[in-house]
Amino acid sequence: MAANEFRKDLVSGEWVLISSARAKRPHDGARERLKQSVADCVFEPERMADQLPPVLVYDHGRPMQWHGDWRGRWTTAVIPNKFPALVSGVCGEPTMRGPFATHPAHGFHELVITRDHDRSIADFSVDETAELLHVYRDRYRVIAQDACGDYVSIFHNHGRGAGASVYHNHSQIISTPVVPPEVMRSLEGADHYFQQHGVGVHRALIDWELQEGTRIVYENTQFIAFCPFVSKTAYEVRIFPKTQEPRFESSGDDCLRDCADALNAVLTKLHRALDDVDYNFYIHTAPVARDPEVNYDYYHWHIEVVPREVMPNIPLHGGFELSTAIHINAFDPDECAAHLRDTSVS
């Protein structure tokens, strides 16, 4: 039975139109792949000397002292972006230019590079993905000490349709002197729900998904992954720790390992179920702790995984989306979850 209804997001208050009949629209079935050879790759050890020196290097699960040899032992490295969206420097002050607020674009912009050219995270072992999460956490903790940053964004683009310009597996970390609007809406929605109901909104979401059971994609001891009831895009998945914790950087090693297991399972299922679909994933977490009087106990950090172009060459946003800010999702989240649940990870 085709789903056809408007659904309101419990946190943001945004409306989404679930209209699964639109999945039957014709399309040519072709997807443009991002592929680059080892010989052309800027992140191969032979060419990494052209990059800026690393700020953190791991070798098989452990941070290591850097000795200046990219051809030597390392498995994950963090380097400053040579073409940063933000630049380091003395923190500037917000100013008004006519009616507009402005702020100097000071902050961090780093690349997290894994060594193997042809292996994406869907191909990783749990240990390898846990190492990646450890690197994210380590850099977050360092960057959060900088007085310029109010928020640290950690994200990963896989494929041309997700905005990746380099094929070699890598993630990005950007700190901003302002809290991004999407994060602010999430925080305000979570706070509003807590004030009204006395319980965290994400706790309520997780409990409801556990009760319903139909949209759960994967679950282990500490994490749950599900397709949200109000999914903006087809096969969207959110990964939550079961214990409410507002800050990703507070996660312990055991927690990160279970998170790696869940992230691996989700990305492997998407890779197999949707023929190596392009996707973004990003970590939503509370802003950098500046004022001890401000707490975000009502919030719940999580990872959002957003596939792109599930129907090849059908744009994610058309005139209706742009003119109303209401997303149309042509896939029933229940059916997406069932498809992913039935897709093997072994």
31 part of a folded domain: no
Tens of pLDDT along 78-119? 999 998 988 877 677 889 999 988 888 889 999 999 999 999
Instruction: Round to whole Å and give the CA distance between 113 and 92.
Output: 30
Give backbone dihedrals phi and psi of 199, rounded to 5 degrees, phi first.
-140, 150
Please, what is the angle between helix 333-341 and helix 253-273, to 10°?
100
Q: What's the rounded mean pLDDT across residues 28-51? A: 85
Instruction: Round to whole Å and give the CA distance between 116 and 60.
Output: 13
Q: Among 61, 313, 109, 302, which residue's Cα sits nearest to residue 201?
A: 302
What's the pLDDT score for residue 309? 78
Q: What does the mean pLDDT of the chain come to?
A: 90
Tens of pLDDT along 206-216? 999 999 999 99
Number of domains in the chain: 1
346 part of a folded domain: no
189 part of a folded domain: yes
Tens of pLDDT along 275-322? 999 999 999 999 998 777 888 999 999 999 999 877 665 556 666 676
C-beta atoms surrounding 226 within 10 Å: 29
Residues 130, 256 contacting (CB under 8 angstroms) = yes
Q: Among 345, 304, 328, 339, which residue's Cα sits nearest to residue 156?
A: 304
Boundaries of domain holding 144: 4-25+37-91+100-341
Q: What is the DSSP string of 40-68?
A: G-TTSTTTGGGSPPPSEEEETTEE----S
167 part of a folded domain: yes
30 part of a folded domain: no
- Token digits of residue 217: 């994609």
> Could you tell me which residues are beta bridge partners of residue 111?
79, 172
Please report, for the domain that includes residue 174, its CATH number: 3.30.428.10
Residue in this structure with the two tokens 């029933």, named with its chain if needed: 332
Where b means 16+ CB within 10 Å and e means fewer, 178-188 reads eeeeebeebbe
Q: Among 232, 82, 110, 231, which residue's Cα sits nearest to residue 171?
A: 110
32 part of a folded domain: no
3-state secondary structure of 130: helix
